């Protein structure tokens, strides 16, 4: 079960993910990322409330990496719990995605660009 | 005694009795005529006549089967045929007397009596067979009271036979009393005519005909008997016997009443037939499913039975998700015309599949403004609460459909709906069964993709175990000796679960087996594998893998981690466990040459007693009832305890330890565990 909320702060899309992302709920994450990437502005994702993410959920993030890069859309994730962070790190996603600790840091990076 | 034997014996007894009866009677006449001094009981012919009657009765009781709704007409046909044969016999006797009317032979008492005996035989055969058939018809749908009454009547008839021994004359007081008594019995019994209701219109006419013809036989027999009686030469006169008279009265009464009742039932028989047909149609509808018929056949039965139930001139059946319209006596254009001419709101809703489920019987039948059809029934076919189709019945006469007809259609349609619902359920169940079967096959195929046995070498022992949470999974491991003394081991985990993961796992195997033979370094393998997978994996899929190359000549272990859970390496010399967590990225995450920047190869030298533990995240991500993660720490703690064991023992004990941690829970994820233990003592 996952609860995904999209809000707009200035020019940035803030996606807040709360709960668990497994194969079935990854579709909701995909919908949120799809609409946010179509919007064209920067995307910041709040993962403070994310307790668990399955490989299918990770697959959704991965499938947007290329597209967002080509569209030159800023994509930042923040607030991961240690267990979730470990999953991202093991997979090596920390090397190719912007992962920061909190919202302020994320917004700061966003504004710099 | 079998039925057949009983029939044969009674036939024989009857024939013998008749012969003896005729013989003794004629003999008695002979004795009387020539005044011979022979002491012969006058009772003998009487006795044999009685046994003849009883034998005939027994014969027909066994010969004529029970009445059944299908054989009423057969029974009447039997009366007709027996009557015909016996009447022809009787006519021949009359012909004889007609031809020899003026000759002495026709005046001779012996001749007269002989022919009379023949006639008696024929009459009794006809009377008894008809009596038995009437009995069968009366006792069709018997009650206890009726059985008692009939039993009483039969005993009374038996009694009348004994009464006949006293030589009473026709029309004496005693004779009349007994006859009236028996006749009133016969009259009461004659009103049991339930079988007539089961005849259809045509059968009713036939039975009237048969009974009427039988009446002619009876008349003819009576005429012939009285003719003989009037000669006053008879030694035994059938007309003087109450039993025979009573049977005659009974047969005539029952025949007469049957004809009257059948006649009065003629106009209503079509209604009865209609009801019977409805019941049969209903049964057909409800049976159309178990017999494995398709939905369309059910609709065909529904359409035909509904039409005949309400005498519709035309009908059609439309399904929501099917352009094919089933129709009777109406063409496509006409159907569209009808569609346009429906002006009643609820009928409109139903015919255009907008029915809201608020059903009332009086709404479905309405009038229609159309050049041909004036009345219409629109009946929604509901399956699982939603409208599946519509049944439309049309009549050329205005206000042709009454409430009762609508009720019948409602029952028909709901029965068909149940049938169709069952049908869908059954086919769904079959489909499901088929999928299960396919998955079982997939499981066997996938098991064959994993190596049944891993290579062995004096330098190391290696064991592995894999388990899929569902029938098939996405975990993969394999080992290939690419050149003498160089072994390549891969462990991988495809994202997602189930069938899609299993397909990608099969691709991984293909890639491993083709690339491993190029005998490159692990980093080269991973780069090539990423390039290959980038072209065939769907966008959101990726594979994590760890690749180990064991060079038994140089005693080196070279490895690359492509986003996979870091393997544990136990070093005997330091007694410590290190994580092989060099940087790396899952296969398929970056699908261009940029990926190669993230591939990092590491090499270490292995020593005696060192252990390499590779696994998939099913193990480290296992959670117990307290939602506590097993993690790498759990795995490490477990490994430390068992470092002195063989590879197989280590693998088994780690799984046991994990199960202890999980308690009653089961691992619900795919997991793979492989243990490699080095032994350099054997291969100097």
Q: How far is CA B414 from CA B76, B279, B282, in A?
A: 41, 14, 10
Q: Is the CB of residue B82 less than 8 Å from the CB of residue B210?
A: no
Sketch the domain layout of chain A as residue ranges.
Answer: 2-112
Res B651 pLDDT > 80: yes
Predicted pLDDT of residue B69:
62
* Token representation of residue B482: 């690419």
Pairing of strands A43-53, A75-78: parallel
User: CB–CB of B349/B359 below 8 Å?
Assistant: no
**Residue in the block written with tokens 């022919």:** B115
**Do A66 and B586 lie within an 8 Å CB cutoff?**
no
Distance between first and last Cα of chain B: 100
Q: Which residue in A23, A59, A96 is closest to B542 by CB distance?
A: A59
Backbone phi, then psi, for B196, in 5-degree steps?
-60, -35
Model confidence band, residue B683 (pLDDT cutoffs 50, 70, 90): low
Residue range B411-423: mean pLDDT, rounded: 83
Residue ranges of B 476-535 with Cβ closer than 8 A to chain A: 493, 495-497
DSSP B39: -
What integer is the mean pLDDT of B652-681? 91
Does the pLDDT of residue B358 top 80, yes or no? Answer: no
Confidence label for A100 from pLDDT (cuts 50, 70 and 90):
very high
Inform me whether the pLDDT recorded for B684 exceeds 70: no
- pLDDT over threshold 90, residue B586: yes
Segment B33-38 shows an average pLDDT of 74
* Strand B486-494, strand B475-483: pairing: antiparallel
Alpha-carbon distance of B141 to B269, in angstroms, equals: 19
CB B572 within 8 A of CB B609: yes
Pick the residue from chain A with its C-alpha nearest to B629: A83
Distance from CA of B479 to the nearest CA of A (A): 23
Q: What is the pLDDT of residue B52?
A: 93
Question: Can you give the pLDDT at residue B563?
Answer: 93
Nearest to B598 among A58, A90, A92 (CB): A92
Q: Determine the residue of chain A that is closest to B563 in CA distance.
A: A91
Q: What is the DSSP letter of B469?
A: S
The pTM is what?
Answer: 0.57
B25 versus B606: the higher-pLDDT residue is B606
CB pairs under 8 A between A and B: 62
For residues B592-611, give the mean pLDDT: 93
Confidence of residue B239 (pLDDT cuts 50, 70, 90): confident
CB B210 within 8 A of CB B258: no
Q: Which of B495, B565, B615 to mutate to test the interface with A (most CBs of A within 10 A)?
A: B495
Check CB contact of A93 with chain B, cutoff 8 Å.
yes
* Partner B, chain A 20-79, Cβ-Cβ below 8 Å: 23, 30, 55-56, 58-60, 62-63, 65-66
Least reliable range by pLDDT among A84-98, B285-299, B554-568: B285-299
Q: What is the pLDDT of residue B293?
A: 63
pLDDT at B289 over 70: no
Cβ proximity of B19 and B47 under 8 Å = no
Q: Which CATH superfamily is domain A2-112 in?
A: STAS domain (3.30.750.24)
Contact B493 A59 (CB under 8 A): no
User: Which pLDDT value is given to residue B68?
Assistant: 67
In DSSP terms, which residues pair with B507 in a beta bridge? Answer: none
The dihedrals phi and psi of B551, each to the nearest 5 degrees, come to -100, 105
Mean pLDDT of the B286-293 span:
60
Residues B127-171 have pLDDT tens digits of 999 999 999 888 887 788 988 999 999 999 999 988 888 877 777
Among A2-11, A79-88, B9-18, B356-365, where is mean pLDDT lowest?
B356-365
pLDDT per residue as tens digits for the range B78-107: 999 999 999 999 999 989 888 888 888 888
pLDDT tens per residue across span A30-88: 999 998 888 877 899 999 999 999 988 999 999 999 888 888 888 999 999 998 999 99
pLDDT at residue number A59 = 92
Per the CB < 8 A criterion, the answer to whether B122 and B92 are in contact is no
- Alpha helices (H) along B139-241: 144-164, 173-189, 201-230
Confidence of residue B278 (pLDDT cuts 50, 70, 90): confident
A2 forms bridges with which residues in the sheet? A19
Phi, psi of B237 (to 5 degrees): -105, 120
Region B409-437 average pLDDT: 86
Say if the Cβ atoms of B542 and A96 lie within 8 Å.
Answer: no
What are the tens digits of pLDDT across the range B301-339?
A: 888 888 888 888 999 998 888 778 889 998 888 888 888
CB contact under 8 A, B496 and A55: yes
| Longest alpha-carbon distance in chain A | 36
């Amino acid at each position: 079960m996952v609860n995904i909320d999209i809000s707009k702060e200035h020019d940035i899309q803030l996606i807040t993910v709360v709960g668990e992302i497994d194969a079935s709920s990854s579709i909701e994450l995909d919908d949120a990322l799809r609409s946010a990437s179509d919007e064209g502005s920067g995307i910041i994702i709040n993962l403070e409330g994310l307790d668990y993410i399955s490989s299918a959920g990770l697959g959704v993030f991965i499938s947007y990496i290329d597209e967002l890069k080509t569209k030159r859309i800023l994509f930042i994730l923040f607030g991961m719990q240690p267990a979730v962070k470990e999953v991202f790190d093991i997979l090596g996603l920390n090397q190719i995605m912007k992962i920061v600790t909190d919202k302020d840091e994320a917004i700061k990076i966003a504004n710099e660009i | 005694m079998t039925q057949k034997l009983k029939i044969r014996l009674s036939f024989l007894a009857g024939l013998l009795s008749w012969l003896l009866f005729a013989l003794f009677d004629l003999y008695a006449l002979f004795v009387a005529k020539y005044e011979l001094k022979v002491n012969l009981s006058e009772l003998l012919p009487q006795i044999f006549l009685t046994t003849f009657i009883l034998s005939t009765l027994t014969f027909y009781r066994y010969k004529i089967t029970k009445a059944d709704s299908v054989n009423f007409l057969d029974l009447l046909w039997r009366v007709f045929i027996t009557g015909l044969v016996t009447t022809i016999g009787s006519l021949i006797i009359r012909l004889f007397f007609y031809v020899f009317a003026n000759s002495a032979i026709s005046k001779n008492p012996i001749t007269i009596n002989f022919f009379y005996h023949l006639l008696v035989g024929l009459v009794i055969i006809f009377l008894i067979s008809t009596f038995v058939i009437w009995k069968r018809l009366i006792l069709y749908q018997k009650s206890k009271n009726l059985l008692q009454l009939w039993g009483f009547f039969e005993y009374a008839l038996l009694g009348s036979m004994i009464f006949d021994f006293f030589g009473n004359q026709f029309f004496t007081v005693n004779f009349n009393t007994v006859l009236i008594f028996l006749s009133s019995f016969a009259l009461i019994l004659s009103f049991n005519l339930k079988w007539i209701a089961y005849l259809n219109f045509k059968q009713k006419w036939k039975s009237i005909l048969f009974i009427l013809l039988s009446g002619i036989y009876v008349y003819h027999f009576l005429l012939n008997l009285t003719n003989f009686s009037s000669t006053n030469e008879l030694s035994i006169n059938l007309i003087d016997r109450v039993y025979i008279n009573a049977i005659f009265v009974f047969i005539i009464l029952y025949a007469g009443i049957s004809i009257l009742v059948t006649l009065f039932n003629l106009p209503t028989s079509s209604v009865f037939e209609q009801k019977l047909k409805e019941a049969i149609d209903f049964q057909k509808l409800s049976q159309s499913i178990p017999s494995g018929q398709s939905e369309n056949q059910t609709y065909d039965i529904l359409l035909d039975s509904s039409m005949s139930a309400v005498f519709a001139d035309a009908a059609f059946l439309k399904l929501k998700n099917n352009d094919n319209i089933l129709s009777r006596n109406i063409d496509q254009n006409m159907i569209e015309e009808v569609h346009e001419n429906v002006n009643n709101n609820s009928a409109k809703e139903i015919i255009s599949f907008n029915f809201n489920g608020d059903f009332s019987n009086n709404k479905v039948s309405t009038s229609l403004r159309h050049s041909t059809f004036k009345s219409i029934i629109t009946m929604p076919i509901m399956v699982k609460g939603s409208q599946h189709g519509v049944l439309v019945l049309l009549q050329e006469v205005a206000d042709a459909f009454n409430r009762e007809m609508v009720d019948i259609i409602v029952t028909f349609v709901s029965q068909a709906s149940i049938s169709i619902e069952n049908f869908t359920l059954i086919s769904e169940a079959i489909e499901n069964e088929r999928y299960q079967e396919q998955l079982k096959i997939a499981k066997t195929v996938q098991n064959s993709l994993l190596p049944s046995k891993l290579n062995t070498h004096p330098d190391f022992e290696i064991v592995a175990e894999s388990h899929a949470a569902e029938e098939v999974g996405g975990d993969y491991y394999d080992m290939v000796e690419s050149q003498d003394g160089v072994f390549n081991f891969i462990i991988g985990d495809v994202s997602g679960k189930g069938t899609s993961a299993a397909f990608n796992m099969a691709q991984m195997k293909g890639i491993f087996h083709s690339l491993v033979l190029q005998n490159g370094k692990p980093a080269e393998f991973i780069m090539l594998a990423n390039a290959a997978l980038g072209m065939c994996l769907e966008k959101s899929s990726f594979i994590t893998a760890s690749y180990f190359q064991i060079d038994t000549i140089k005693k080196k272990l070279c490895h690359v981690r492509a986003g996979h859970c870091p393997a544990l390496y136990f070093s005997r010399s330091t007694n410590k466990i290190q994580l092989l967590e060099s940087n790396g990225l899952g296969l398929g995450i970056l699908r261009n040459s940029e990926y190669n920047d993230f591939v990092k190869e590491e090499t270490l030298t292995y020593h005696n007693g060192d252990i390499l533990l590779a696994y998939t995240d099913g193990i480290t991500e296992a959670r117990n009832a307290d939602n506590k993660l097993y993690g790498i720490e759990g795995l490490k703690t477990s490994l430390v305890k068992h470092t002195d064991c063989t590879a197989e023992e280590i693998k088994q004990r780690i799984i046991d330890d994990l199960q202890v941690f999980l308690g009653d829970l089961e691992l619900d994820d795919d997991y793979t565990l492989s243990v490699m233990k080095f032994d350099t003592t054997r291969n100097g």
